Amino acid sequence: MDVLETIKTILKILFLKTQNQMYKKFLVLFLLYLSVNFSSQTTVRYQKNIRGGVTMIGNSNYLQSSDFNVPNPAVLNDVDGDPSTTISTSSDLILPAGSKIDYAYLTVQTGYEATPGDMISIKFKVPGGNYLTLNSSSPQFIAAKSVLDPSPGTRKYRQIIFDVTSLLPQNGFVSTSAGGLSGRYFVADPIPNFPTNQRTNMGGWSLIVVYSNTNSLYRNITIADNWQFFGGGATTVNTDIPNIQMPGSGTVNVTVGVAGLYGDPSISGYPCNGCNDFIKFGVIGTTLTNLQDPVTGVTNDALNSTIGWSANNDVSVDSGISISGSYTARNPSSGFTPANYAPTGTWGSADYDSDIFSANGILPADGTLKNVRLSQQTTGSDYLVSGSYFISVETSTLTLSKSLTSNSILDGDISTYTFSITNTSSNPVN
């Protein structure tokens, strides 16, 4: 349990013991303040300049009916054909041909019931392999995090994180937009899980993969995580990520990946119509810019039960493989969008988002290191939990080469050295 959760626990005990109603109101407000404004520590897991890129695949544990049909407002996903699993989904890893996997980060998230406690294990299967149970004793384990809603404090949201780089086969991907078995990953049976048809069941997983490739652009890539609950009014949480490298000039091309829970579709006819939320991005201390959802194209409903990629994702830019909108190389593949939403008969990812946003033209091209901010905001009765993140910035990279007019020099000979500086990226350099 981190320091913030310890403080919250103490305050809740004081709340239960005191009889003073004014004091109780103060404690409730203070708990809400802590949850909204006292961000838990953002932890950077990976930061590197690399000739390559980063991508994110994933899926939702549940499908949810658009009309909340009773008695089955949500259904479990179990697609692997394995009778030993209760919950299972898959997603295909698509990378440019010739890529090498540099780092792989797996986040699994679930909620809503307060008991039992933190997430303790999941099952993970790579292409051509068998399920491997990962838990806090596994060498791949990074962290397990949980957060309670501030009031009434009866709902818990969980995240467990693993570094699965050593588990991924170097050829464990495909290079076609349709996906395929050679890049198919499964996640199953998060514990605790909630194998019922409750509307409030939610959860899913995302695999963030950094790749290197000799034909790719150069990029500065950062992967970080936090775990924050916010909502129930006009509330904001900030995730600050340090030391992002800027190119020297030109338009700064950026992608931002976000994975999180409890994103309701804020569309006409849906029960949470008006539950607007925003993801703002930029340099700390400057005016931040709203990011556009890659599936719906709107800026006022950033977390909305979708799993999608922006058209300028690193894989498409590096390979020419055209992928945008809802990410379909997964099973099941479904999501609410304004185009397919109907009062009945529509199913979508149940309150889980795994999206790659475009953030082109927002950051300055000054060649320095910048501290950037992801600011998430709600304006109505929406509640949200996130998250795990990546930021990928195209950078300018110079290479120095030399040549000699002769391989051997005799006494009295003159030879010439030629030094060449080459810009190996599409961005200009001052």
Closest-CA residue to 35 (of 226, 229, 225, 227): 229
- Break the chain into its structural domains and give their ranges: 1-38, 42-397
For 52, the token pair is 């390559």
Q: What angle do CA 295, 296, 299 make, to 5 degrees?
A: 115
Concatenated DSSP letters of 35-47: HHHSPPPPEEEEE
pLDDT tens for 136-189 read: 999 999 999 988 877 666 788 899 999 999 999 999 999 999 999 999 999 999
**Residue 238's closest CA among 2, 36, 6?**
36
| Average of per-residue pLDDT across 278-288 | 96
The answer to whether the CB of 364 falls within 8 A of the CB of 188 is no
Note the pLDDT of residue 425: 53
Residues 6+ apart with CB under 8 A from 285: none
- What's the pLDDT tens digit per position in 94-149? 999 999 999 999 999 988 776 667 889 999 999 999 999 999 999 999 999 988 87
Does the pTM surpass 0.85? The reply is no
Both tokens of 80, joined, read 């692997």
Q: What share of the chain is helix, strand, coil (3-state, %, to 5)?
A: 10, 45, 45
When mean pLDDT is compared over 7-21, 238-252, 295-309, 326-340, the highest value belongs to 238-252
For residue 123, the one-letter residue type is K
Residue found under tokens 């997983």: 205
**Confidence bin at 8 (pLDDT 50/70/90):** very low
Q: What average pLDDT score do residues 51-64 get? A: 92
d(CA 402, CA 251): 30
pLDDT at 428 over 60: no
Cα 374 from chain centre: 12
Read off the tokens for 282.
């930029």
Token representation of residue 419? 């030094």
pLDDT at 196: 64
